[in-house]
A and B are shown apart, each in its own frame.
Chain A
């Protein structure tokens, strides 16, 4: 009877341990994936908004026409501290025309998002690409 009880107790302990480890690892896996998805969404939306504002305020157009990124920098430098962004302007043949990076940011190899927006300057077609990531 005593032996049986011991085996039964050990069995129960193993079962509880295995179940707990499965639950804990699942929780970490799922919660990590979700945070990543929502983080990317956040930064993607920031990129979309940044490009839209830069285009609708004619900042991109003026940058090409004056060959200066000063006004682009003035805007991207006001983004929240943790968000890093760089803006690159290409002509219609995808040659780089202008490039600028938010002050205090360094290039990241981690998670980042890309968005592009087209605009007209000097009666020609250009597009800007914003690349954003969390510092």
Chain B
């Protein structure tokens, strides 16, 4: 009888012990999981922050900084869309836009990627961008800016160029034929901000018209509009042999309901081998 009582006590003791130990084990496991989860949350949220920071750092304002751009306003009025730049680029034989972009790409893919412990790759990072849905394309190349337009929508281009020169020597303006073409207005300022040339002729976008402004020492600004070489109709090219700044550019189009998108050809890929995450981005200059 005593033996049976003792063995019953033993079983009860064993069961209670197992029960208590499992409770302790469960508690420890829960604590461990909680701790692991909170660590992961912190790590991933901070890593997400880091990727966003790096992307913003590389991409934001880079076209504005490298090309000297300031898109000051987009206005929709009277069935027209008006885009106004207060800075639209610096042109000079001493500025190599392709080199500026190449230097930035080399730095980001090399030193900067090492600093951030990431793999960073650019594709098609070059000094060009497009305004869609109007199919207007900007190409910067040292002393030359080409703006390729879709003449179906184009209503007006106003370009104001500040020249690093003082005295106007001569100028040529294309003749007007009285047709209702897209309006072209070329304004040239000297280095003292005085307007020395202001022409606004009717200009056929299917023909080539040349505005030529010559300053002292053979310094020359040439603005061509129309079909230039094999360019599409309504192309505008600014070319000069000295330093100039485009201090205003106004583009006027027939209104389309689609929102405007200033987009580059470039895209960016950021990869963390440590976290096995890749973030790919198209570089957008501005979205309406």
A44 near B57 (CB under 8 angstroms)?
A: no
A107 at the interface (CB under 8 A from B): no
Give every chain B residue within 8 A of A94 (Cβ-Cβ). Answer: 111
Interface flags for A74-109 (1: CB within 8 Å of B; 0: not) read 000000000000000000101000000000000000
B116 near A120 (CB under 8 angstroms)?
A: no
Distance between Cα atoms of A58 and B26 in the complex (Å): 55
- Partner of A118 from B49, B100, B107 at Cβ < 8 Å: B107
B139 at the interface (CB under 8 A from A): no
A25 at the interface (CB under 8 A from B): no
Give every chain B residue within 8 A of A45 (Cβ-Cβ). Answer: 49
Distance between Cα atoms of A59 and B46 in the complex (Å): 26
Q: Interface residue tally of chain B, by bracket?
A: 20 to 34
A66 at the interface (CB under 8 A from B): no
Distance between Cα atoms of A52 and B52 in the complex (Å): 12
A48 near B100 (CB under 8 angstroms)?
A: no
- Partner of B53 from A30, A52, A127 at Cβ < 8 Å: A52
Distance between Cα atoms of A133 and B222 in the complex (Å): 56
User: Mostly helix, strand, loop or mixed at chain B's interface?
Assistant: helix
Distance between Cα atoms of A13 and B78 in the complex (Å): 90
Distance between Cα atoms of A112 and B36 in the complex (Å): 23
Which chain A residue has the least Cβ–Cβ distance from B108? A118
Q: How far is the CB of A50 from chain B (nearest CB, A)?
A: 12
Give every chain B residue within 8 A of A48 (Cβ-Cβ). Answer: 49, 53
Give every chain A residue within 8 A of B95 (Cβ-Cβ). Answer: 123
* A-binding residues in B (CB < 8 A): 31, 35, 38-39, 42, 46, 49, 53, 56-58, 60-62, 65-66, 95, 100, 103-104, 107-108, 111-112, 115-116
> 3 smallest A-B Cβ distances: which pairs?
A120-B65, A125-B107, A116-B115
* B-binding residues in A (CB < 8 A): 30, 34, 37-38, 41, 44-45, 48, 52, 55-56, 92, 94, 115-120, 123-125, 127
